[in-house]
Amino acid sequence: MQQKKLKLADLAKLAGVSTSTASRALNDNPLIKLETRERIQQLAKEHNFSLNAAASRLRLQKTKVIAVLINLDSETEQSIDDPFLLKVVSDINLAVNRQGYELLLSNSFMAGEDWHGYFIDGRRADGVIVVGQGKQQALIEAASRAGMPLVVWGDPKTKADYVIVGSDNFLGGKIAAEHLMSKGCKAPLFLGEPEHAELGERYNGFCTAIKSSGLTERCQLLKIDITSQAAYEAINHKLRNDGLDFDGIFACSDMVALGAMKALKERYVSIPNDVHVVGFDDIAMADISFPSLTTVRQDTKQAGELLVSKLLAQLEGEQVASSQLEITLIERQSS
Amino acid sequence: MQQKKLKLADLAKLAGVSTSTASRALNDNPLIKLETRERIQQLAKEHNFSLNAAASRLRLQKTKVIAVLINLDSETEQSIDDPFLLKVVSDINLAVNRQGYELLLSNSFMAGEDWHGYFIDGRRADGVIVVGQGKQQALIEAASRAGMPLVVWGDPKTKADYVIVGSDNFLGGKIAAEHLMSKGCKAPLFLGEPEHAELGERYNGFCTAIKSSGLTERCQLLKIDITSQAAYEAINHKLRNDGLDFDGIFACSDMVALGAMKALKERYVSIPNDVHVVGFDDIAMADISFPSLTTVRQDTKQAGELLVSKLLAQLEGEQVASSQLEITLIERQSS
DNA sequence: GAACTTTATGCAAACGTTTGCAATAGGGTG
DNA sequence: CACCCTATTGCAAACGTTTGCATAAAGTTC
């Protein structure tokens, strides 16, 4: 059933030309007469010929592969449960393919400590997109210093010598806080984990807006693992212990917001009458929850494209800078 | 900053041995004296040496890569929005890594029509896991016949000559229907797309249970695209046109169920008093929605492991058969 | 101490591309 | 017709591993 794999030399023989001619023909090299080129390409199609990528990579010193490294703190595990991550990866995938590259899906487990060695020296990929700065950025920095082409999805305000693409988290937090206050909130609460780079910025924006409004000096924070489960439990616990001492929630992600909302609903706290809720990300569920969730949308499509184009620019040797994506407040029923 | 990449020959020179000895040492070949082996491995670590995967693959005719091909019908696009897909891919990823393989994330767009040629002949991967049978299975069959090592995530009842791993969808549908009826439903409704292989089986199980219960001969079906948005609109539309002529919903996925629930809640149809709802998958949102969603859980962790181990077994030349995963009904508030 | 085994290492070919350079042929120019 | 230029093709080396086979050194046996 399985005839012997055709190699370039075989194809060349079939066409009655040399291997080099066949190679050039397949790469549309104008050195080869147009007629010959077309004939060989046709022949290749007929025989379902495909180049041996391993050989090609060895010779070219290029893989045409981009690795996506999902960088989760093993402790807090924003486990890969969050649908937002999927959105990001999936949009990166699209952008990568559009550029004719393939996507190696990796993680801290496979890459070990020496990312440069693993991906670049190991000729597994030409460059890496790291998703999530996480709490400790040492490995990212090491890889960057070693010269690994690299773009990070994170908070672009971070002072770092590598390229970062991400939303304007500070502004997002600010907008969320202002929105809550405009709806009459006097005691809004931040639900999340400020030590995390991106989330920290959201918290900063949130606090800045509140303080500068003169509303209060105290900027309430409920620190939790960033999962809907943890949010649910934390709000539940808080309601039991402190009662309802807040009238607004800015959750660091939609999943967290949804977990919080469940706890509220179970205790008959009305949304948005008693508590206004704002999330972050705008995952599909935000629109489909009831009440639907007001949230700060991150433009993952643009993110994917920017991440990839900046990485490719680096591969071309260009100097590229971090950049910040616009975010938009999507007003829905929860506020 | 970037010293020249060390190759095996350089490492060997540093160690004062030949290239072949170095190669064998790194692969822990007992031909080499233990002492030498350790010395070289130590040296490799010190210099952050890593093998050139391209060269290695070329020589070995093996990539140590498994491709995951997300197979979405471009029409119905169970777009990659569904969090359940993420769960599956992520669990496959884990299992793949545990076996020392890497994961190439691909899709119908990149792979083109000739999957065997692209992945296998192209030496991009040693085998492929296809996620989603989709509506048309011609390409899968072609690849399988061409001898591509392959495992499909789909419905194991499908009569096919390739290996399938998946949940017992028929039983899942049956259990869901029985559960609804046990809660007193007289007119349950199936919400989904029966032409899709896996979903079709769920529908069959659903109908079989209903018919054999003697409840009714008519087995209501509302055919929709499998997105929460479509579900929301369909239920909305139905309520407006037909009124509430059903008292139970079995949705083909949790996302669909959640979309339906939103429509119900908006029209003040009580869940579960007026309408009982059962979903499928058990995504994180099922537990966190309000009311929480009764659903048929698919064991994605086991799925990932089975998919990978069956694929690797094929690579070893073993004969492997399809297999079916147990599903469990998770009873929550929506029923 | 000659013959033979065992242990440890090195030589060189092979995997399938790509590409600099050389080579050939055909056509134009002076 | 000698010369050069252009268009097209082929030769052969190189990319960095792995591995069958040869080799060398050391130990064993009669």
Identify whether residues B257 and B182 lie together within a single domain: yes
Identify whether residues A204 and A278 lie together within a single domain: yes
Q: B118 CA, C4 C1': separation in Å? A: 53
pLDDT at position B154? 94
Burial class for B259, CB neighbours closer than 10 Å (0-12, 13-18, 19+) = buried
Average pLDDT, stretch A80-99? 90
Identify whether residues B180 and B289 lie together within a single domain: yes
Put simply, the answer to whether A258 touches B288 (Cβ < 8 Å) is yes
Is pLDDT above 50 for B57? Answer: yes
Q: Is residue A331 part of a domain?
A: no
Identify whether residues B94 and B154 lie together within a single domain: yes
Identify whether residues B41 and B99 lie together within a single domain: no
For the stretch A232-282, pLDDT in tens is 999 999 999 999 999 999 999 999 999 999 999 999 999 999 999 999 999
Identify whether residues A289 and A306 lie together within a single domain: no
Q: d(Cα B147, Cα B188) in Å, to the nearest integer?
A: 44
Nearest CA in chain B to A69: B103
Token digits of residue A302: 């643009």
- Residue whose token pair is 């029985």: B178
Identify whether residues B177 and B160 lie together within a single domain: no
For the stretch A296-332, pLDDT in tens is 999 999 999 999 999 999 999 999 999 999 999 999 9
For the stretch B300-312, pLDDT in tens is 999 999 999 999 9
For the stretch A75-87, pLDDT in tens is 444 456 788 988 9
For chain A, percent of residues with pLDDT exceeding 90: 84
Q: Which amino acid is at A158?
A: T
Q: In chain A, what residues touch B48 (CB-CB under 8 Å)?
A: 114, 116-117, 121
Nearest CA in chain B to A266: B290
CB < 7 Å to strand D — which of 110-149 in chain B?
Answer: none
Instruction: Compute CA distances A300 → A44, A165, A316, B203, B255, whole Å.
Output: 38, 11, 24, 35, 20
Instruction: Provide the H-helix boundaries in chain A.
Output: 8-15, 19-26, 34-46, 53-60, 83-98, 108-111, 115, 138-145, 169-182, 197-212, 228-242, 254-266, 284-288, 300-315
- Chain A nearest CA to B85, separation (Å): 9
CA angle A162, A165, A167 (to 5 degrees): 140
Q: d(Cα B294, Cα B159) in Å, to the nearest integer?
A: 30
CB-defined contacts A:B, below 8 A: 159
Token digits of residue B35: 């002492």
pLDDT at position A52? 97
Strand C closer than 7 Å to the CB of A97?
A: no
Q: Is residue B334 part of a domain?
A: no
Q: d(Cα B333, Cα B295) in Å, to the nearest integer?
A: 10
Put simply, the answer to whether A285 touches B287 (Cβ < 8 Å) is no
What's the mean pLDDT when you consider all of chain A? 92
Average pLDDT, stretch B246-273? 96
Strand C closer than 7 Å to the CB of A52?
A: yes
- Residue A56's nearest nucleotide, by CA–C1', is C17
Q: d(Cα A97, Cα B120) in Å, to the nearest integer?
A: 19
A104, B103 Cβ separation under 8 angstroms: yes
- Residue B122's nearest nucleotide, by CA–C1', is C16
**B76: pLDDT confidence band, cut at 50, 70 and 90?**
very low
Q: Which residues contact B129 (CB under 8 A, 6 or more apart)?
A: B66, B67, B68, B69, B92, B150, B151, B152, B153, B307, B308, B311
**A213: pLDDT confidence band, cut at 50, 70 and 90?**
confident
**B137: pLDDT confidence band, cut at 50, 70 and 90?**
confident
Q: Is residue A60 part of a domain?
A: no
Exposure string of A302-320, with b = 16+ CB inside 10 Å and e = fewer, is ebbbbbbbbbbebeeeeee
For chain A, percent of residues with pLDDT exceeding 70: 94
Sheet architecture: strand order including A188-192? A220-223, A188-192, A248-251, A276-281, A294-298, A327-330
Q: B29 CA, D27 C1': separation in Å? A: 23
B220, B207 Cβ separation under 8 angstroms: no
Is pLDDT above 90 for A24? Answer: yes
pLDDT at position A18? 95
Q: Is residue B332 part of a domain?
A: no
What's the mean pLDDT when you consider all of chain B? 92
Q: Is residue A306 part of a domain?
A: yes
A32, A24 Cβ separation under 8 angstroms: yes
B275, B268 Cβ separation under 8 angstroms: no
In the stretch 151-190 of chain B, residues with CB closer than 8 A to chain A read none
Identify whether residues A143 and A247 lie together within a single domain: no
Q: Which domain holds residue B247?
A: 169-298
For chain B, percent of residues with pLDDT exceeding 90: 84
Identify whether residues B158 and B178 lie together within a single domain: no
Q: d(Cα B142, Cα B152) in Å, to the nearest integer?
A: 13
Q: Is residue A310 part of a domain?
A: yes
Q: Is residue A59 part of a domain?
A: no
pLDDT at position B80? 66
Average pLDDT, stretch B101-129? 94
B104, B125 Cβ separation under 8 angstroms: yes
Instruction: Compute CA distances B307 → B43, B82, B157, B174, B322, whole Å.
Output: 38, 20, 16, 25, 10
pLDDT at position A86? 86
3-class state of residue B224 by DSSP? coil
Q: If we measure between CA atoms, which residue out of B148, B110, B124 comes closest to residue B64?
A: B124
**B81: pLDDT confidence band, cut at 50, 70 and 90?**
confident
Q: d(Cα B96, Cα B151) in Å, to the nearest integer?
A: 13
pLDDT at position B219? 81
Is pLDDT above 90 for B249? Answer: yes
For the stretch A119-170, pLDDT in tens is 999 999 999 999 988 666 899 999 999 999 999 999 999 889 999 999 999 9
Which CATH number covers residue A112?
Answer: 3.40.50.2300
Strand C closer than 7 Å to the CB of B21?
A: yes
Token digits of residue A185: 């909130």
Sheet architecture: strand order including B188-192? B220-223, B188-192, B248-251, B276-281, B294-298, B327-330
User: Is B83 touching A (CB cutoff 8 A)?
Assistant: yes
- Residue whose token pair is 């690849």: B143
Q: d(Cα B186, Cα A175) in Å, to the nearest integer?
A: 49
Q: d(Cα B198, Cα B214) in Å, to the nearest integer?
A: 25
Q: For helices A53-60 and B53-60, what crossing angle results, to 10°?
A: 140
Identify whether residues B306 and B285 lie together within a single domain: no
Identify whether residues B133 and B157 lie together within a single domain: yes
pLDDT at position B86? 86
Is pLDDT above 60 for B66? Answer: yes
pLDDT at position B78? 41
B106: β partners: B69
Token digits of residue B295: 């659903």
pLDDT at position B2? 53
Put simply, the answer to whether A122 touches B2 (Cβ < 8 Å) is no
Mutate one of A69, A269, A290, A293 to test the B interface: name it (highest B CB count within 10 A).
A290
Q: Which residues contact A226 (CB under 8 A, 6 or more apart)?
A: A76, A78, A82, A192, A193, A196, A199, A252, A253, A255, A256
Identify whether residues A143 and A237 lie together within a single domain: no
pLDDT at position B74? 55
Q: If we measure between CA atoms, which residue out of B312, B300, B307, B320 comes closest to residue B90?
A: B300
Q: Is residue B56 part of a domain?
A: no
pLDDT at position A1? 45
Q: How many domains does chain B have?
A: 3
**Least confident span in B51-55, B226-230, B274-278:** B226-230
B317: left (phi over 0), alpha (psi -120 to 50) or beta: left
Q: d(Cα A285, Cα B231) in Å, to the nearest integer?
A: 13
